Structure 1
Amino acid sequence: MNIQDRNDSRALALPIGGMTCASCVRHVEEALKGAPGVRDAQVNLVGERADLTLGPEADLADLAARVKEAGYEPRLTHVELGVGGMTCASCVAHVEKALKAAPGVMSARVNLATERAYVDGLEGVITPAALAEAVRGAGYEPRLQTQEKAALDPFERRAAETATMRRRFILAAALAAPVTILEMGGHMSPAFAALTHGALGHQGVMLLTAALTTLVLFGPGRRFFTLGFSSLLRGAPDMNALVALGAGAAFLYSLIATFAPDVLPEGTRHSYFESAAIIVAFILLGRWLEARSRGRAADSIGKLARLQPKTAHVRRQERPGMFAVRDLSVADVLVGDVVEVRPGESVPVDGLVIEGASHVDESFISGESVPVVKKPGDSAIGGSVNLAGAFVLRATRVGADSFLADVIRMVETAQGARLPIQDLADRVTARFVPVVLILAVATFAIWLAFGGLAALPLALVSAVNVLIIACPCAMGLATPAALVTGTGRAAELGVIFRQGDALQTLCGVKTVAFDKTGTLTLGKPTLTGIIAGEGFDEARLLSLAAAVEAQSEHPLGRALVEAAKSGAAPLAGPIAHFAYRPGLGVTGEVDGVSVAVGSADLLTSLGAATDVFAAKAEALAGQGASCFFIAVDGKPAGLFAFSDPPRPEAAEGVAALRALGLRVALITGDREATARAIAARIGIDEIYAGRRPEGKVAALHELAKAGPVAFVGDGINDAPALAAADVGIAMGAGTDVAVESAQVALMSSDLRKVAQAFALSRATLRTIKQNLAWAFGYNILLIPLAMGALYPSSGLLLNPALGAAAMACSSLFVLGNALRLRQFAVPSQDVGEKSVAQVPQTIFAVSDMTCGHCADRVRKAALSVAPGSDVQVDLPSGDVTLTPAAADPAAVAKAITDAGYPAAAK
């Protein structure tokens, strides 16, 4: 597949999937022939491609969109490659232009801070090699991912680059220092001038400074000239061109003044060797410090990458029945391998614990320092640290498929994004260097026009100042430096921006809407009561319901299954004709009996009205309980009541969002009475209840009338709402479908992370605005000064060396301002803590509790009287705390006592 030019036409083979017949061919051809710039389109069904003849106005992205709208799939691919040699925003613009001109490329974006290019295009048309050649043709250094891995990893490469810049600066400074001393010292001290001229002679001083400056420019400063003049020859001048022209002009003028002074008018025979040398030294200093700062800005990914150990203790079979532990490279661990994790070691791969137990530090993912208990059946994440005990796990995800690798990819993707706020800077910097060149020439001409040949030195100095001081480095770094640092800090706090532009979108959000089950609540409901209809047995209903729900993933369904197992109620079977009804429930046939379990709407749709249970269901819902109904053979048979208390930090998280000025709403499929009971306990007063998945999307549209909306959820039912919201935020314990539908993923289920995400996005965008204001303001204020605007009134003219220093300081200011985000602190939660403290509680003193089984029985007894409560059992003290306070403490105490544990309210 290739593209070739034919006069003003070009041929393109567009790969297309999903075509099955001649009708498909016709539809695709019609869609493509109607696009601007398409002169001919022939679709090949067998080859699954469209052979196109395109004019210059054809837009590949438009063609792909038209194919997709027609119901077919344009086969696209994504390529990432490193780009070396970029120094400013003009470099970014040149690389992007070169990549977009490559055959088959639909879009290309380049990140200066991460030195990476992200290209989307047609599968089979764009290749890494072709893109690398386009980058090389633009004068930069392509680095394919395979090359990067074969050589140094990105973090080692960045360290090597920093060390190289440091060496170049030290050499340039060592050579430029005597030049500056000899040139400036003579101007500042007549005695020093007499001493040096007496020892070396005037011509000797000039020759020495010329020699040292030559070494500076063509030694450590050579790169500016090779890259700068190369970009000029391509007609795409960049920052290197400005430095090369500025330092080169000062150097060339000084050489003429030294070796051919008669060429210059009398009174203009001055040398500026120190300016040329100091310009290079100062800019190399800036480059060195920039490289250090960029490394620090991107260090969050480096920290994540360095978490995974290099080796793993793997049990491998030596011979039948005989196993031995081998220390293997992590890269050699396979899915299914049995891996030993010893005390103090990092977990090498993702896996399922099969032996032993320990406490593991997962703070790098969740941002929480509290260790997590790991026991058989629990999952362990590669990169987490085993603190005390030893355990054995079976590898489930390794290498590029591991959780840690996923997180790194998501962070890198976010860091490579282009924010909408960057568009203005990109438009300006694309034209900035040519404008600076024109201004430099105009400055030189204006000085000569008004001052004649006598003003030649002033004209030269002013033109050099313009070239040096107007470098667009700060503009190019303003957005990516803050984006890289902000998303990196977010990752450290357990907030992953899967899409970089979500960082900016989040700042404009006015309303945060939450799902209830598993998001605001613990997501681990327990069955607290069964109400059987006339002619039905509670145990039989539980057995039937659990059998059907065993096929589903709904939290209430799992609670039914667990209750059946713990109560020794055998699951009925076999199951036939199982069906999941989104937002309603499940149906199936068990032991020849048709069973439906779910909401009242499900039973009503099946002709089994739940009116007989309506009063009891409403009373339970008012206490915060959730209800499932069951129908057997088309008849309403009973009601199940569940308790799913709010997360302990829910009120605090909601209060923190309110403190940020955000409106908070609850959207749930549960009954309104249940939703209001939960919402009242955590401080939410705007409720949309009884909403199926499509109803949640409709509620978001209602909320969006007041401005952009973010939705926080965790389940499969939440995926449509997460995708429909302006920003979808998936909880850490959420399903893969939910996470894939969201733009932001929380690595834990701590609701306070939502407020952290908002606070950090605002801090990052504020930093970007500050950086852009500085970068533009710097050039607007200093370019006139560099041109000599103050000279007519005050006689002040900027020294080129000071111009170079100012340029370096401008970039360092932007980077330093961005690096402040590394110290971003979690906002104070004082308001949230007060909200939690204000929720009334009842504490009971309970005797004879000795183990976790006792605690479970006490908890269930309390919930049987106070469904919907948050019941916390402290075994050592014997205290049982109900939040909110029990409406009838005596009844709760009696229920616990009847369960075999004497209890009394304190």
Structure 2
Amino acid sequence: MTLNTFIAAVCVVVAIMLTIAHIRFFFGEETHKQQGELFHQPPHDEAAPVSAGDTLRTRRRDNAADLRILRKQIIVGAALTLVVVIPILIHTFAPHCPLGPLVDPWWQAVLITPVMFYSGYPVHVDGWSSLADRRPNMNTLASIGTIAAYAYGLLICFAGDLFPAGMRMSYFAIVGIVITLVLLARLVSDLYLPQQPAFPLQLWVDRFSFVFVPVVIMIALWTFVAWLLFGRQPALPMALLTAISVLIIACPCALGWAATLAAVFANENAGRHGLQIHSLGSLQIARHLTDVLFAQEAASRCQEDIRRLQQAGVSTSVIDADAVDDVLATVDSMRKLAVSLGQRPVVAFVGDGPTDERIRHAVDITLEVGEAKEGEAHGHADVIVDSRSTMAVSDLRNLSHAMMANIRENLVWTFAFNIIGIPIAAGVLYPFTSWLLDPSFAAIAMILSSLCVLVNSLRMRHYNPERA
């Protein structure tokens, strides 16, 4: 043991006390009550206050002025981060190249400080307010990780000579990279999913974050304690670096992108095939369709759609939409029949105009055929079908299958990355290989994970639901 017995005992006792307080704060009975509403939200509720953007929220109102501020924050963050990162890369591959002050920690601190406090302001505000509300999210972990990296950089600036030669890297670049990625995820959500109710799987991702973030914080704490107690001297810098590596590699940027990007590109794809998606929940559950009701007027041009649905095992009926009581009775019969067959009924209604409110609440998905005129309301339908589209329900169902498969692939990749990356960042390989994951490589790994999610999600742009 590299510390004397008394200091080691104090460290362990403090860590245990912090762990108990941490568990009670995040997983205590009061917390479960506070989170109960979110964890038990119905999967398809028009009145739900949560929007798609809220899952990556930065306390904005999603209006034009806020988007302009967000763009400025991203431009500042990306530009200053590049000015820091490019000299570092040049120095890494060409160490004898004269870069002068460009790789000096003080110069990097000057450049990254605006990124930390101007660009990162919404990340920190939301991250810590969510933490105080006992609902930590992606911003929480991003804020904690960047604060740790920024603080370590300042230590190098003021007391770098006290650190071993191999531990004098400032890691300011990590701050810029993480903040810029988080803000980019927010911008994508604001631009392409405005005012959309959050779809159930994205809510599930948020719920996962409520558990994932506190667990990562605890892993980082005990990683710090373990290296402080058992690491080679000087133990403190090594403990700080390993804890920062855990926080950075676990920063769930890829998790934040996993469902959002797939939904963005699926939504774009739907638009090209004549479908205006007004509820992402409908795009998620359409793959489970068991029954579809067509209004008589709409059905006259949907014969091919009806045929394809029947081939896929989906029950279809044509009905007079003006006879609302008959529609409701038919929906009720469909649900009972599906339940008797051991299915979970998912019913859609296809009309040629605004749908009666009672029908909208009775079915799971409403589609309205016909392009909306400017300023014309469409009765809050989940999907508006372009008059050119003749296989709207089949296309929606196929898009739903493809999007959810894409999201599952993204989530599997993200979870596998964290399951493998966090222990490596904590140093589990060190006893066998004498190798530690530098925070810079942790940041690179995080970027690669996000890029993999992006590339996989882009496949949704080229998916053709008509050929499925």
**Alpha carbons of 1:180 and 1:725: their partners in 2 closer, same or farther (altered >3 Å)?**
closer
Contact 1:224 1:244 survives alignment (8 Å) = no
Instruction: Give the equivalent residue in structure 2 for 1:792.
Output: 431
Q: Which whole-Å CA distance do the structure 1 matches of 2:227 and 2:338 have between them?
A: 58
Please state if 1:519 is matched with 2:298: yes
**Alpha carbons of 1:494 and 1:270: their partners in 2 closer, same or farther (altered >3 Å)?**
same
* Pairwise CA distance, 1:779: 1.8
Instruction: Give the equivalent residue in structure 1 for 2:305.
Output: 653
CA deviation string 1:340-364 (max 9, x = no partner): xxxxxxxxxxxxxxxxxxxxxxxxx
Contact 1:176 1:213 survives alignment (8 Å) = no
Instruction: Give the equivalent residue in structure 2 for 1:280.
Output: 175
Q: Mapping of 1:124-139 within 5 angstroms?
A: none
CA deviation string 1:206-225 (max 9, x = no partner): x9723222223324344477
Instruction: Give the equivalent residue in structure 1 for 2:243.
Output: 463
Contact 1:469 1:782 survives alignment (8 Å) = yes
CA deviation string 1:639-682 (max 9, x = no partner): xxxxxxxx4x62x32343245x2333334479xxxxxxxxxxxx
Q: Which whole-Å CA distance do the structure 2 matches of 1:222 and 1:815 have between them?
A: 27
Instruction: Give the equivalent residue in structure 1 for 2:74.
Output: 165
**Alpha carbons of 1:174 and 1:422: their partners in 2 closer, same or farther (altered >3 Å)?**
closer
User: One-letter code of the match for 2:285?
Assistant: T
Instruction: Give the equivalent residue in structure 2 for 1:447.
Output: 227
CA deviation string 1:501-560 (max 9, x = no partner): 222221211333444x32332xxxxxxxxxxxxxxxxxxxxxxxxxxxxxxxxxxxxxxx
CA deviation string 1:143-178 (max 9, x = no partner): 475xx4xx58x5xx3xx7446534533333323444
User: One-letter code of the match for 1:726?
Assistant: D
* Pairwise CA distance, 1:478: 2.6
User: One-letter code of the match for 2:331?
Assistant: V
**Alpha carbons of 1:162 and 1:287: their partners in 2 closer, same or farther (altered >3 Å)?**
farther
Please state if 1:774 is matched with 2:408: no
Q: Which whole-Å CA distance do the structure 1 matches of 2:307 and 2:75 have between them?
A: 49
Contact 1:270 1:457 survives alignment (8 Å) = no
User: One-letter code of the match for 1:789?
Assistant: V
Secondary structure, in 3 states, of the residue corresponding to 2:370? coil
Richer in helix (by share): 2
Q: Which whole-Å CA distance do the structure 1 matches of 2:367 and 2:412 have between them?
A: 30
Q: Which whole-Å CA distance do the structure 2 matches of 1:463 and 1:171 have between them?
A: 26
Q: Which whole-Å CA distance do the structure 1 matches of 2:116 and 2:371 have between them?
A: 53
Contact 1:465 1:798 survives alignment (8 Å) = yes
Please state if 1:244 is matched with 2:135: no
Contact 2:257 2:454 survives alignment (8 Å) = yes
**Alpha carbons of 1:492 and 1:445: their partners in 2 closer, same or farther (altered >3 Å)?**
same
* Pairwise CA distance, 1:777: 2.6
User: One-letter code of the match for 1:725?
Assistant: V
Secondary structure, in 3 states, of the residue corresponding to 2:200? coil
Q: Which whole-Å CA distance do the structure 2 matches of 1:717 and 1:224 have between them?
A: 43
Contact 1:479 1:768 survives alignment (8 Å) = yes
Contact 1:703 1:709 survives alignment (8 Å) = no
Q: Mapping of 1:597-676 within 5 angstroms?
A: 647=301, 650=303, 652-659=304-311, 661-668=312-319
Q: Which whole-Å CA distance do the structure 1 matches of 2:326 and 2:274 have between them?
A: 30
Secondary structure, in 3 states, of the residue corresponding to 2:316? strand
CA deviation string 1:714-764 (max 9, x = no partner): 369985666533333333389xxx963854332327431221111112222
Q: Which whole-Å CA distance do the structure 1 matches of 2:335 and 2:268 have between them?
A: 32
Contact 2:112 2:172 survives alignment (8 Å) = yes
* Pairwise CA distance, 1:784: 0.8
Provide structure 1 residue ranges, at least 5 long, that are not aligned to the other structure: 1-56, 63-92, 97-105, 117-139, 299-410, 522-646, 671-690, 830-906
User: One-letter code of the match for 2:222?
Assistant: A
**Alpha carbons of 1:657 and 1:430: their partners in 2 closer, same or farther (altered >3 Å)?**
same
**Alpha carbons of 1:107 and 1:697: their partners in 2 closer, same or farther (altered >3 Å)?**
closer
Q: Which whole-Å CA distance do the structure 1 matches of 2:467 and 2:126 have between them?
A: 51
Among residues 359, 364, 367, which one is paired with 1:726 in the alignment?
Answer: 364
**Alpha carbons of 1:484 and 1:787: their partners in 2 closer, same or farther (altered >3 Å)?**
same
User: One-letter code of the match for 1:462?
Assistant: T
Instruction: Give the equivalent residue in structure 1 for 2:25.
Output: none
Instruction: Give the equivalent residue in structure 2 for 1:704.
Output: 338
Secondary structure, in 3 states, of the residue corresponding to 2:219? helix
* Pairwise CA distance, 1:242: 2.4
TM-score normalised over the length of structure 1: 0.40
* Pairwise CA distance, 1:269: 5.2
**Alpha carbons of 1:209 and 1:694: their partners in 2 closer, same or farther (altered >3 Å)?**
closer
Q: Which whole-Å CA distance do the structure 2 matches of 1:217 and 1:742 have between them?
A: 46
Please state if 1:111 is matched with 2:52: yes
Contact 2:84 2:108 survives alignment (8 Å) = yes
What root-mean-square deviation, in Å, do the aligned CA atoms of Structure 1 and Structure 2 show? 4.3
User: One-letter code of the match for 2:368?
Assistant: A
TM-score normalised over the length of structure 2: 0.71
Secondary structure, in 3 states, of the residue corresponding to 1:780? helix
User: One-letter code of the match for 1:510?
Assistant: T
Richer in strand (by share): 1
Q: Mapping of 1:175-324 within 5 angstroms?
A: 175-178=84-87, 184=92, 192=96, 209-223=104-118, 236=132, 238-255=140-157, 257-259=159-161, 261=162, 268=164, 270-274=166-170, 276-283=171-178, 286=181, 290=185, 298=192
User: One-letter code of the match for 1:784?
Assistant: P
**Alpha carbons of 1:290 and 1:225: their partners in 2 closer, same or farther (altered >3 Å)?**
closer
Q: Which whole-Å CA distance do the structure 2 matches of 1:232 and 1:465 have between them?
A: 19
Q: Which whole-Å CA distance do the structure 1 matches of 2:223 and 2:433 have between them?
A: 18
Provide structure 2 residue ranges, at least 5 long, that are not aligned to the other structure: 1-31, 40-46
**Alpha carbons of 1:802 and 1:754: their partners in 2 closer, same or farther (altered >3 Å)?**
same
**Alpha carbons of 1:462 and 1:270: their partners in 2 closer, same or farther (altered >3 Å)?**
same
Instruction: Give the equivalent residue in structure 2 for 1:71.
Output: none
State the identity as a percent: 26
Instruction: Give the equivalent residue in structure 2 for 1:350.
Output: none
Contact 2:241 2:438 survives alignment (8 Å) = yes
Q: Which whole-Å CA distance do the structure 1 matches of 2:264 and 2:414 have between them?
A: 18
Q: Which has the higher contact order (CA 8 A, sep 6+)?
A: 2
Instruction: Give the equivalent residue in structure 2 for 1:483.
Output: 263
* Pairwise CA distance, 1:793: 1.5
**Alpha carbons of 1:717 and 1:253: their partners in 2 closer, same or farther (altered >3 Å)?**
closer
**Alpha carbons of 1:180 and 1:761: their partners in 2 closer, same or farther (altered >3 Å)?**
closer
Please state if 1:827 is matched with 2:461: no
**Alpha carbons of 1:212 and 1:717: their partners in 2 closer, same or farther (altered >3 Å)?**
closer
Q: Mapping of 1:346-425 within 5 angstroms?
A: 412-413=194-195, 416-425=196-205
**Alpha carbons of 1:433 and 1:694: their partners in 2 closer, same or farther (altered >3 Å)?**
closer
Contact 1:512 1:712 survives alignment (8 Å) = yes
Q: Which whole-Å CA distance do the structure 1 matches of 2:243 and 2:368 have between them?
A: 55
Contact 2:371 2:384 survives alignment (8 Å) = no
Please state if 1:507 is matched with 2:264: no
User: One-letter code of the match for 1:451?
Assistant: G
Among residues 806, 819, 828, which one is paired with 2:445 in the alignment?
Answer: 806
Contact 2:199 2:279 survives alignment (8 Å) = no
Secondary structure, in 3 states, of the residue corresponding to 1:250? helix
* Pairwise CA distance, 1:443: 0.6
Contact 2:355 2:368 survives alignment (8 Å) = no
Contact 1:243 1:467 survives alignment (8 Å) = yes
Instruction: Give the equivalent residue in structure 1 for 2:16.
Output: none
Contact 1:723 1:741 survives alignment (8 Å) = no
